[in-house]
Structure formats: structure tokens, C-alpha cells
Amino acid sequence: MLCCCDFLYTIEGIVRKNVRGNYPRDWDEDFITRSLLKSLRTVFGPQTRIHLDAPFLLPPLIIPVLRPWSVIDELVVGWDAYKMTGAKENKFGDVAILVTIRYPDGDKIEGVAFLEAKKRYKNSSNFQAIDFQQLKRINARAPRASVLLYDFNAIYGYWWRTYAVTAPMDLVIATQKKDTSLYKFSMPFSIRILRHLLGFCLEHADEPLRIAKGYQTEYGTPLYLLVVRVGMGVEPPSGDEVEFNRDRFARFEE
């Protein structure tokens, strides 16, 4: 079983290997994202147990994301990763994280988080490939979507250094920024993942869920789908309980 800090540090190790480790030879958003998701699935395996530590053991940035300690002290998480079948041009963001959570009282919720990945360009402080029209198209149907920023240099200003952060997509659009000044609006990818496991920062409306699952395709389909099943102090839902269009997504090969 991992404590929260160990879980976050493990993700940061995965980020360091698959973001910084792919520079400069494989410095490509698609390659980085694919290797990152494959590593998440491989390192954590089909099921991970995460103990929710007491607040005083955690960095201040993390404390607000955790739920009441008296109710839940463990997450049981199942992971799997898929890629879209079909033309990449018809995509709706790079990653959809589909989260299904079961609670001790029997409630079950479903939500999705969309990420659009962008790399920092060599010899530059810019993320030149940020396309504000593309972001507006995604944000119109997924208002909680984020931009996932990859950097070959360490990003400081958090509890630890990292190489991948997420910025709210609507804020990126509002500021019209596409450089490292976006970091002051961002949080580490590792903390974003923990928030999603706890049920935060997810879309719950029917349309974004149908897009993520590959059932509503007129706006495109996520290039990658990370399916996460969470049990809040109980066993997580089984893979058969998570519904998505398996004709639109193929499981990552080993």
C-alpha cells in the first residue's frame, strides 16, 4: 500500500522518465503522452491501494484536495489505458481520464477530465503549438478541461520539482498566453491525477462523457483514454461496469 506522498512521488518519477527522459530525441507530444500513460498503467498495475495520510504529513498544496479522514482512509484504484482507432485528425483533446468511483454507501459516480498536451519548444520559453481556436472548441463542451504542459527543464515553485503541469484551459484562453508564464496558474500533473481519483475537477454532464467514451463523435474522440476505477474504502467497480465504445478504442499493447 502507498501513502499519498509515495503515490505522488511515484507519479513524479514516471513524469521525469517519460518527459525529461524523452528530450531531445523523442521530444514529441504524442510520443511523450503515450509513453506516460503506458508507464502509469505498468507501474501501478491493475490495482493500487493508496492510504490517505493524516493532513499534517502532507505538503500544504495537497491538503485541500483530500476528503474527510473520518469517512475514508483508503483508495483502491484500477487502471487501464487505450488509444483511439481511426484518424488522429478527428480528435477531441489528447487524453480523456474516465473515472468511475464507488462509495461505501453504494453510490457510484462517473466523470471525465480532458487534457490537451503541449510541449515547450527547444531554445524557447514558448509552447508554440497552443492553438486557441482548438482550445475554445474543447472548452465549449468540457469547461473543466486543462492544458498539459511538458517541459525539458525542471519546473519549480511547488513542493517539489516537476516536468509536467496542468493549467485550466479557460484561463489559458482568457490570458492568451503560450509560454512558461502559464506555470503560475498551474499545478503538477501528479496532484491533478490525485484530485481526479478523489472525484474532483471532473465533467459529469452527458455530452462530455459521451465524447470521452467514443459514442458522440461529431466533435472528435480523445486520442487516448485512461480508464480509472476507484473504490473509496471499498473495492472499485469491475472493468465490466465501465462502459465505453470498445470499437473506438484499442487497449495499449504490452
Label residue 231 by pLDDT band (50, 70, 90).
very high
DSSP H helices, the chain, are 4-18, 29-44, 132-139, 169-175, 189-197, 206-213
Hey, how many other C-beta atoms are within 10 angstroms of the C-beta on 178? Answer: 19
Domain boundaries, the chain: 2-251
Percent of the chain with pLDDT strictly greater than 70: 92
As a whole number, mean pLDDT of residues 122-145 equals: 97
For residue 236, what are the CA distances in angstroms to 19, 48, 59, 143?
A: 30, 10, 27, 27
Which region among 65-69, 120-124, 189-193, 246-250 has the lowest average model confidence (pLDDT)?
65-69
121 within 8 A of 150, measured Cβ to Cβ: no
Could you give the 3-state DSSP secondary structure of residue 248? coil
pLDDT at 190 over 90: yes
Rounded CA-CA distance 96/24 in Å is 26
Q: Name the residue with higher pLDDT: 5 or 254.
A: 5
| pLDDT for position 71 | 61
List pLDDT tens digits, range 200-224. 999 999 999 999 999 999 999 999 9
What is the gyration radius of the CA atoms in the chain, in angstroms? Answer: 17
pLDDT at 68 over 50: no
Hey, how many other C-beta atoms are within 10 angstroms of the C-beta on 121? Answer: 14
pLDDT at 168 over 50: yes
Sort residue 160 into left (φ over 0), alpha (ψ -120 to 50) or beta.
beta
List pLDDT tens digits, range 33-56. 999 999 999 999 899 999 986 544
List pLDDT tens digits, range 82-113. 999 987 778 999 999 999 999 999 999 999 99
pTM above 0.85, yes or no: yes
pLDDT at 69 over 50: no
